[in-house]
Amino acid sequence: MNDESWVTGNLVLRVNGEPVEMQMTVPTARIKPQRMLPIFQQMSSAVVEASVEANGKEVSCKAGCGACCRQAVPISEAEAFQIAELVEAMEPRRRAVIKERFSSQLKHFKELKWFDRLIGLKDMAYEKDPNFSPEKYMAVVTDYFKEGLPCPFLEDESCFIHPDRPLVCREYLVTSPAENCSDPKPTNIEKVPIFLRPSKAMLKVGRSSNSENYSSLMMIEALDFVERNPDRFPELTGPEWAERFVKELAATDAPVDNASRVRRKKKRHKK
């Protein structure tokens, strides 16, 4: 049996000007950011729920509708390590199937030189090249979708890692008819506006020297990236990681207020 100290604090996020209260309980021990992902996922879900409520429209997304799961999915380095851990924890047969899906899709898009095009446009945007345009970037992203390859975790048009799905997946919700998602265009897709972007905050917080030259990784790169790179994340306490995340989250849109009272408690965990 191990004793582990945890700290609990209240947090108020302002979503579209309205306060959303939540409670965070984080370990006081020094940990890697991957261990904080369940907490950041909960925060993301709270932000998204508040955004949906503020929008006032019914969300079309539901289990069995996986059209959006054929898009390029940008993730943070920390999420790549989490995905690799999820896959390694699978029973051998399923693990082999999922690894093959990742490998074959990565090979497919490399052969198409899709990543070269994407990186080239990101470099142009970073360098403020006048030849860059959002339309060119969207054309590359659309070309990925047109290949029709589903996320490696999509089965029966549903995500089988739904509780652990990346933050950006949680932020993509549409209110337009579900059938429109099979051929998405700016003119036929209406998305729920997310007033704070946890996925963007995670890109900043969940980065080590491995990915300092990446604006983000794509989901299908996750296993290959982790295989080629050791875990170089620093170890910080849970409150330190939480503070970093909240700071970056605040920068994505509205101000975020930390709560006043914090209490410490002990939890017991079995080995």
User: Pairing between strand 154-155 and 30-31?
Assistant: unpaired
> Encoding tokens for residue 138?
């969207």
pLDDT in tens, 151-197: 999 999 999 999 999 999 999 999 998 888 888 877 888 999 998 99
Distance CA 140, CA 121 (A): 9
Q: Give the amino acid at 85.
A: E
pLDDT in tens, 116-164: 999 999 899 889 999 999 999 999 999 999 999 999 999 999 999 999 9
> Encoding tokens for residue 245?
């995340």
Indicate the burial class of 201 (C-beta count within 10 angstroms; 0-12, 13-18, 19 or more).
buried
Single pTM value for the model: 0.88
Q: Is the pLDDT of residue 268 over 50?
A: no
Q: Would you say the C-alpha torsion 160, 162, 168, 174 has a positive or negative sign?
A: positive
